[in-house]
Amino acid sequence: MIKLSYQKQLKTTDGFFELSIDLDIPKGAFICLYGPSGAGKTSFLRILAGLLAPDKGSILVNDIPWYHSDKKIGLSPQKRNIGYVFQDYALFPNMTVQENLKFAQRKGQTKDLIPELMEVMELSQLANRTPDTLSGGQKQRAALARALVQQPDILLLDEPLAALDAQISTKLQDYILNAHRDYSLTTILVSHDLGEIMKLTDTVVVMEQGRITKSGRPQEIFMNRQLSGKFQFTGTILSIEKQDVIYVVTVLIYNTIIKVVADATEIQELRNGDSVVVASKAFNPVIYKIPERS
């Protein structure tokens, strides 16, 4: 159980804003931080990892204070057993994939997870390659494996799949989900990808301007609750065309382009580039807009 309650003044290009967090994260949860860029999501991860210190408040993990401003406690990142997959992966360029994993091993660690992780993440072929010779997906796998070597209790993922194409990221989502279950992790993911969020996480925490504005199950946050859809997909509107009395909306869902028929009232709040859910309601698919991120 992670109990967060802290404030931190953050400097941005538009001046200062306050990150103010009150959140309990149950053990074994898979949480997504969702919100516009500059909302403080990465700072949230950095504070939990100990790379950034809050101004006041407390961070309790299993009732052990990692940070407590009144008691003057601030555990260094070295002492918080956390796996962190950075946005740029942060693989060490001077080491091969295997050496990267080996470096992550803790002193006195009894169980050597490296062979298992190399196998599961399909890194065996790449063991002796250096990071600069790897593709984005391979780097991501190596970074994920490296973060798990030290058998962390908490796994932090900072938009790890943002730079990858849909096919590879689908596969990596499976790796992440399996790791989360197999190693009974508490995982916190920063993501903008609705498909990814729906697939992986059990709770979405929406952040805006340094504050948590909403939290709940992904379906509650992103979808109309009354909807009893047989199937539903999220995608992006490519174009809206008028044909006689109806409109044809072209939507990109992963790498598939589909056309959905909509009427004049439905079309009113839709624009090109909007994120939408396409769902079937009884017989005909309906289309409506997902509430904006920003």
Partner 1 sequence: MNWEPLLLTFELALTTTIALLLVSIPLAYWLSKTTSRIKPVIETLVSMPLVLPPTVLGFYFLVAFSPNNAFGEWLNSWLGLQLVFSFGGLVVASMIYSLPFMVQPIQAGLASLPASLSEAAAVMGKSRNITLFKVLLPNIKKSLLTGIVLAFAHTVGEFGVVLMIGGNIPGRTRVASIAIYDEVEALNYEAANFYSLTLFAITFGMLLLVYLINGGYLKRFWK
**Residues within the interface to partner 1 (CB under 8 A):** 49-51, 76-84, 86-88, 90, 92-94, 103-104, 106-107, 150
196 secondary structure, DSSP code: H
**Minimal distance in Å, beta carbon 146 to partner 1?**
8
* Closer of 149 and 176 to partner 1 (Cβ): 149
Three-state secondary-structure class, residue 287: strand
Query: How far, in Å, CA of 88 to CA of 281, rounded?
Result: 41
Q: At what angle do helices 166-182 and 136-149 cross, to 10 degrees?
A: 10
**Minimal distance in Å, beta carbon 122 to partner 1?**
22
* Closer of 93 and 273 to partner 1 (Cβ): 93
CA distances from 36 to 22, 96, 144, 190 (A): 19, 35, 25, 11
**Minimal distance in Å, beta carbon 50 to partner 1?**
8
* Closer of 151 and 215 to partner 1 (Cβ): 151
**Minimal distance in Å, beta carbon 91 to partner 1?**
8
210 CB contacts (<8 Å, ≥6 apart)?
10, 17, 18, 19, 20, 39, 40
- Phi and psi at residue 136, in whole multiples of 5°? -55, -45
**Minimal distance in Å, beta carbon 22 to partner 1?**
24
* Closer of 100 and 232 to partner 1 (Cβ): 100
* Closer of 143 and 276 to partner 1 (Cβ): 143
Are the CB atoms for 100 and 86 separated by under 8 Å? no
